[in-house]
Amino acid sequence: MPAERVSMRKIREMFRLKFETKLSIRQIADSIGVGGSTVAEYLTCGKNLGLSWPLPADLDDQALQQLLVPRRGRSSVQRPTPDWHVVDRELRRKGVTLWLLWQEYKAIHADGYHYSHFCYLYHHWHGKIDLVMRQTHKAGEKLFVDYAGHTIGVVDTSTGEVRQAQIFVAVLGASNYTYVEATFSQDLPAWIGSHQRAFAFFGGVPQIVVPDNLKSGVQKAHRYEPDLNRTYADMAEHYGVAVIPARPRKPRDKAKVESGVLLVERWILARLRDRMFFSLAALNQAIAELLVRLNDHPFQKLPGSRRSTFMEIERAALKPLPEHPYIFATWKKACVNVDYHIEVDRHRYSVPYAHVHQQLDVRITETTIECFAGQQRIAAHARNLTKGGYTTLSEHMPHPHQQYTEWTPERITRWASTIGPQTAELCERIIASRAHPQQGYRSCLGILRLANVHGPERLEAASRRALRIGARSYKSIESILKHRLDQQELPMQEGDQAVGDAPIEHTNIRGANYYTANGETHEC
């Protein structure tokens, strides 16, 4: 068999270029678009036949073909054929190429195939393997992740409610070694946690993670520049991996995990379809037992199994896990108010005063709050769950000599006085009730802006009621105005005399003094 099919026109052109233009074999190969070894074989065959240029006039294409092609077949010896399974497996190792494997093959078999025919035979063999198996991924390079389309019910023993558990699937590219687990949702904490447990299962991390465009991981799908969720990107940075989402409407980008999902549905989910589970832990235990069988099952068209291939070529290629596991964190944008605090879950945390009015990135974990201006961390606090409270560091406050700041208690009181004395007194009391005056600025400014919505007269009446009942917050004033309590009578205070309680003068009414007149008690 020839290394590759060549038309008779190109064969004639080989002889012309060789004998007429004196080109080298490589130049001839580049000119007519065939392999250099193929050109060498035809020219050697022609030389043995005594052919030169121009070819004999009576040598038509059919005669030339009978001379060259069968002779090449007769003159060639039976050459040793490589074990293509081994070649395919070796190609998955980092840095290994067909050229290197051919050189090693020729070192053992000097009479073996030329490089071009070696490549031709390998690709011919490779094309007979399933699509997913044909994709060649370097060991330790990619991990494909997604959720299965099917779910499994878990019964809540206290209510009898059946919750549908989601099935997370992760497949390594080179070995197809698979990890599966069940979670109750596909939200961000579950998505991140599944990645962490998958990395622990594999005992290392790949270079690249390829997710589908799940909303938990990818905020905005795009063919060229997808936007990652900030927490997902934060986790990727911690583990030192790159996240490259599959391109929309490009199924071959995620063929590995789709094939893995299909196998999981057949090997695991189908076998669990009639079982009843009463906890997520019990479901994951059953999944883990079946996952061992899936990873140990021999390949149909390749030697070994997922586990053996993983242990042989991919385990050592994974990067080591970081010293400490990733701590789940969410991110939000927060604007620094005039009191140099940002708000998280209705608790306020201070930042350096110079960042007033700036928008910051806030990283929130279970125990900490971190504030970033660009890439620089400018503040960190222990998380406090007290609603309406303040966490303030003294170094974040303005220095004593900075007396001419944008907002001061006097400026706020002057603004409040333009609405009325009750509003001014209310603002003074709010500022005085805080540990630091700046902590009351935000409440006061919010209250004063209510005049734009409800009018100064109603705000003044609401302030009067707030002072009467001891309210010291923006929400209290807002509630008074919302429910129109400012238009009702003020509540009684001790010592107040109710309307209608003034003494009534009448000859038929004796009054209370009658019974104690002259220090004596009169009996009726």
Residue 339 sits at φ, ψ, to 5 deg, of -90, 15
**184-193, 287-296, 341-350, 431-440: least confident range:** 431-440
The string of DSSP letters for 395-448 reads GGSPPTT----S--HHHHHHHHHTT-HHHHHHHHHHHHTSSSTHHHHHHHHHHH
Give SS3 for 247. Answer: coil
Distance between CA atoms of 86 and 302, rounded to whole angstroms?
A: 9
Average pLDDT value for residue range 32-55: 82
Q: What local confidence, expressed as pLDDT, does residue 2 receive? A: 45
Report whether pLDDT(454) > 60.
yes
Domain 142-317 architecture: 2-Layer Sandwich (3.30)
Higher pLDDT: 410 or 179? It is 179
Residue 124 sits at φ, ψ, to 5 deg, of -65, -45
Q: What local confidence, expressed as pLDDT, does residue 86 receive? A: 80
CB atoms closer than 10 angstroms to residue 59: 14
Average pLDDT value for residue range 325-329: 89
| Residue 362: both structure tokens together | 């806030």
Report whether pLDDT(288) > 90.
yes
Residue 238 sits at φ, ψ, to 5 deg, of -65, -40
Report whether pLDDT(71) > 50.
no
Q: How far, CA to CA in Å, does 120 sit from each of 133, 135, 258? A: 18, 17, 29
Higher pLDDT: 58 or 136? It is 58
**Quick check: 491 and 469 in contact, CB under 8 A?**
yes
DSSP 392: -
Q: What local confidence, expressed as pLDDT, does residue 251 receive? A: 55
For helices 474-482 and 456-469, give the axis angle rounded to 10 degrees: 120
Per domain, the residue ranges of the chain are 8-75, 84-128, 142-317, 330-396, 409-487
Please write the tens of the pLDDT for every residue from 198-228.
999 999 999 989 887 665 545 544 343 345 6
Q: What local confidence, expressed as pLDDT, does residue 278 receive? A: 93
pTM to 2 decimal places: 0.53
Residue whose pair of structure tokens reads 């603002």 in the numeric block = 427
| Residue 267: both structure tokens together | 């090997």
The band of 496, judged by pLDDT with boundaries at 50, 70 and 90, is low
Report whether pLDDT(361) > 50.
yes
Q: What local confidence, expressed as pLDDT, does residue 292 receive? A: 94
What is the chain's length? Answer: 524
Distance between CA atoms of 179 and 172, rounded to whole angstroms?
A: 9
**Quick check: 3 and 38 in contact, CB under 8 A?**
yes
